[in-house]
């Protein structure tokens, strides 16, 4: 359980604190390789790396020894950019004792890798419900089977590509399980049904709705469906509430970024990308400027494999993942060209540390969802927030970053109110903060993010709105809203 504490009134929008796992380190010899994006292929190098005795205690990773981590994305052409390629380590963590487990793998592009999580719930009859599957490697499947009980339900609760690519391949491994998917599935640039996204001839047993009573697991779960337009297809996310454990399952809508890297990110196979990021401090850059082709690899391998360096790398990685172009980051084209590595061109100013600390270990709504998705349908989103906030959860488990996050409906309301209340006021809808004690509704409560970090996302939003691809909610559509 995350040891979170209730925020003070002055920091209500900062949410609750998340846990900071302790961890240890290992040391490896250097792989030698050079290419412009050489670091992007680090995961492929991992299996060829020679581990050296370091005297450090290895991280406590509950993995299945000897089980294959091999996996090929299908259809591959949709997933070419997804790291870490064909070898994916899975870690399993018991999130609610005897009831809920998180299975984490690493996922990303261009060396910005964060954890993606599958949540498995043991139901009253002893069988399992799988929420948002991950890549069904042999290791992953063995870790699931170790729990005992049959996989009875497999849920695709989202339309997001980075989650749905695993649904079909995973569902095919459990042909007796009932498979349900969120409505509005789409793909880009070619519109393909789930059958072409790995589901094959596997039958879909139904489409998720807002009514739990439509499903055979209704006595154990409540459901809340959130839909907002993206232009090329809808954003859809279905929250599940597991009543017995008082736990809400989410995909992307709210997250909590931990202070330290997730276990799977600091695993020996995966920590190189964190070390690369750690190398990019403004004070480190000069050491490989003007070097020969292989200099950058050497520079990276000079980074001590310590928890502190992994943490520095994690902080920068998280800022990349959240903002795409963090304001604390500069790019040195000359350095990148000389070293034939895009990564070597990134130079972080020390201010990134305070930027990270301002948003970490709190209940937040990802900047991209704030700027490009949820602001398109404020009333719809607010009604969804109202519904999930009425559930009696005391923690939630998202599909990224930390879990479980100790939080209540109040924390979720405040996280959304920070960016949605101003739009709700403009639309004449009740503000999310208006139903909360000790919070004075204002046009806009304090956002978790500074405007410089949001610049690129706000620019994209301006372009999307100006293009007319996505229509904004109009004031008259808010009649009847009951927030």
When the beta carbons of 118 and 224 are compared against Fe ion, the nearer one is: 118
Q: Binding of Fe ion at residue 461 (CB under 5 A)?
A: no
How far apart are CB 235 and Fe ion at their closest, in Å? Answer: 11
Residue 185 CB, nearest approach to Fe ion (Å): 15
Size of site (CB under 5 A) for Fe ion: 1
Residue 134 CB, shortest distance to Fe ion, in Å, is 11
Question: In this complex, which beta carbon is closest to Fe ion, that of residue 252 or of residue 421?
Answer: 252
CB of 454 to Fe ion, least distance (A): 19
54 vs 52: CA distance, rounded Å: 6
The DSSP output letter for 138 is H
**In this complex, which beta carbon is closest to Fe ion, that of residue 161 or of residue 464?**
161
- Which one of the spans 195-203, 249-257, 327-335, 452-460 is the region binding Fe ion (CB under 5 A)? 249-257
CB 222 within 8 A of CB 372: no
- Which CB sits closer to Fe ion, 82 or 296? 82
Query: Between residues 252 and 461, which has the closer beta carbon with respect to Fe ion?
Result: 252
- State phi, psi for 420 to the nearest 5 degrees: -100, -25
Helices and strands (H and E) in the chain: how many: 13, 16
By beta carbon distance, the residue nearest Fe ion is 252
- Say how far apart CA 195 and CA 183 lie, in whole Å: 14
> Does residue 252 interact with Fe ion by CB under 5 A?
yes
Nearest distance from C-beta of residue 159 to Fe ion, angstroms: 11
- Told to check if 104 binds Fe ion by CB under 5 A, we report no
Q: How far is the CB of 162 from Fe ion (least distance, A)?
A: 5
What x-and-dash track marks residues 415-434 binding Fe ion by CB under 5 A?
--------------------
Our CB check for Fe ion shows the closer of 220 and 252 to be 252
Is there a contact between 326 and 352 (Cβ–Cβ < 8 Å)? Answer: yes
Question: Torsion angle of alpha carbons 174, 175, 178, 179, nearest 10°?
Answer: 80
- 91-96, strands of its sheet edge to edge: 91-96, 100-109, 112-122, 128-131, 151-156, 178-181, 206-207
Three state DSSP letters for 50-119? CEECCCCCCCCCCCCCCCCCECCCCCHHHCCCCECCCECCCEEEEEECCCEEEEEEEEEECCEEEEEEEE
Give SS3 for 154.
strand
Q: At closest approach, how far in Å is the CB of 250 from Fe ion? A: 10
- For binding to Fe ion (CB under 5 A), which residues are involved? 252
């Amino acid at each position: 359980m995350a040891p979170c504490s209730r925020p003070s009134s002055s920091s209500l929008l900062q949410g609750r604190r998340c846990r900071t796992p302790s961890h240890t380190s290992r040391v490896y010899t250097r792989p030698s390789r050079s290419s412009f994006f050489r670091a992007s292929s680090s995961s492929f190098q991992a299996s060829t790396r020679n581990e050296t005795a370091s005297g450090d205690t290895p991280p406590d990773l509950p993995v299945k020894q000897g089980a294959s981590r091999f996996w090929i994305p299908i259809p591959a052409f949709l997933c070419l950019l997804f790291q870490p390629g064909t070898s994916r380590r899975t870690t399993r963590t018991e999130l609610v004792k005897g009831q809920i487990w998180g299975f984490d793998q690493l996922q990303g592009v261009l060396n910005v890798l964060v954890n993606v999580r599958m949540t498995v719930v043991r139901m009253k009859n002893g069988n399992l419900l799988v929420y948002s599957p991950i890549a069904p490697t042999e290791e992953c499947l063995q870790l699931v089977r170790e729990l005992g009980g049959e996989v009875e339900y497999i849920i695709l609760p989202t339309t997001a590509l980075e989650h749905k690519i695993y649904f079909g391949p995973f569902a095919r491994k459990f042909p007796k399980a009932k498979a349900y998917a969120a409505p509005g599935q789409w793909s880009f640039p070619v519109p393909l049904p789930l059958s072409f996204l790995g589901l094959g001839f596997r039958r879909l047993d139904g489409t998720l709705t807002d009514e739990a009573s439509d499903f055979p697991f209704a006595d154990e779960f409540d459901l809340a469906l959130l839909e907002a337009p993206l232009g090329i297809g809808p954003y859809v996310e279905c929250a599940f509430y597991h009543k017995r454990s008082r736990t809400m399952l989410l995909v992307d809508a709210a997250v909590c970024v931990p202070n330290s890297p997730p276990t799977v990110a600091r695993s020996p196979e995966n920590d190189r990308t964190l070390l690369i990021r750690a190398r990019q401090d403004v004070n480190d850059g000069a050491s490989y400027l003007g070097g020969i082709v292989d200099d950058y690899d050497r520079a990276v391998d000079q980074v001590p494999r310590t928890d502190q360096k992994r943490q520095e790398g994690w902080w920068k990685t998280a800022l990349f993942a959240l903002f795409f172009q963090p304001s604390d980051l500069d790019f040195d084209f000359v350095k990148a060209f000389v070293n034939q590595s895009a990564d070597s061109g990134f130079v972080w100013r020390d201010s990134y540390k305070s930027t990270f600390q301002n948003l970490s270990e709190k209940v937040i709504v990802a900047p991209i969802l704030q700027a490009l998705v949820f602001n398109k349908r404020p009333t719809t989103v607010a009604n969804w927030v109202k519904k999930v906030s009425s559930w009696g959860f005391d923690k939630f488990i998202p599909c990224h970053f930390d879990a479980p996050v100790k939080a209540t409906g109040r924390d979720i309301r405040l996280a959304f109110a920070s960016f949605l209340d101003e739009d709700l006021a403009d639309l004449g809808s009740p503000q999310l903060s208006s139903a909360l004690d000790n919070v004075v509704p204002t046009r806009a409560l304090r956002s978790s993010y500074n405007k410089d970090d949001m610049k690129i996302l706000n620019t994209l939003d301006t372009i999307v709105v100006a293009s007319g691809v996505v229509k904004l909610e109009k004031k008259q559509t808010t009649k009847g809203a009951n927030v």
